[in-house]
């Protein structure tokens, strides 16, 4: 019991279970500079700077920025957007409440990235009822304009 408590309180402890981003931010003082694990979807786009790249990731609730140093060779095939599901990845890294390297940002510095599921593009079927309604409205508009023109003449 004492060992478990000691391990829980010890700094630098590695968390093997994925932590929700909301929990990280809510308890930022507790998780500050700790090794953490996240299982997330890559969203937006990868933005590369001199010493590494920024990834923005989402866990279904909130999004957070992950700094990926050059040494980690990960290029997402798909990032989450309207027509795409981004790569689902597991990130092991260090959480910073106020990162001194990045001028105070709340971020994660990745140490290891594992692809859990590759992203993909998906086909979104069109809503036929919506198309029909739209056509009816525009035809109605044309009829109103024709009627207005005839009334004027």
Among 21, 88, 76, CA closest to 48: 76
Residue of 57, 56, 62 lying closest to 21 (CA atoms)? 62
What does each C-alpha distance from 7 to 4, 13, 35, 119 come to in angstroms? Answer: 5, 7, 13, 36
Binding-site member from 76, 80, 93, 119 for another protein (CB under 8 A): 80
Angle at 96 between CA 90 and CA 98, to 5 degrees: 145
Shortest Cβ 129–another protein spacing (Å): 10
Binding to another protein, residues 89-148 (CB under 8 A): 97-98, 100, 102-107, 124, 126-127, 130-131, 133-134, 137-138, 140-141, 144-145, 148
- Which positions lie near another protein, rule CB under 8 A? 22, 25-26, 28, 43-49, 53-54, 56, 58, 62-65, 80-83, 97-98, 100, 102-107, 124, 126-127, 130-131, 133-134, 137-138, 140-141, 144-145, 148
């Amino acid at each position: 019991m004492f060992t478990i408590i000691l391990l829980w309180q010890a700094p630098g402890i590695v968390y093997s279970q994925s932590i929700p981003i909301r929990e990280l931010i809510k308890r930022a003082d507790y998780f500050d500079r700790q090794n953490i694990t996240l299982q997330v979807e890559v969203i937006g786009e990868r933005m590369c700077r001199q010493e590494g790249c920024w990834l923005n990731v989402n866990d279904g609730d909130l999004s957070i920025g992950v700094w990926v140093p050059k040494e980690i060779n990960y290029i997402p095939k798909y990032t989450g957007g309207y027509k795409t599901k981004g790569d689902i990845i597991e990130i092991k890294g260090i959480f910073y409440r106020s990162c001194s390297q990045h001028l105070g940002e709340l971020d994660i510095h990745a140490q290891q990235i594992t692809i859990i599921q590759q992203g993909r593009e998906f086909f979104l079927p069109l809503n036929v009822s919506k198309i029909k309604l739209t056509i009816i409205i525009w035809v109605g508009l044309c009829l109103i304009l024709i009627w207005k023109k005839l009334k004027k003449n």
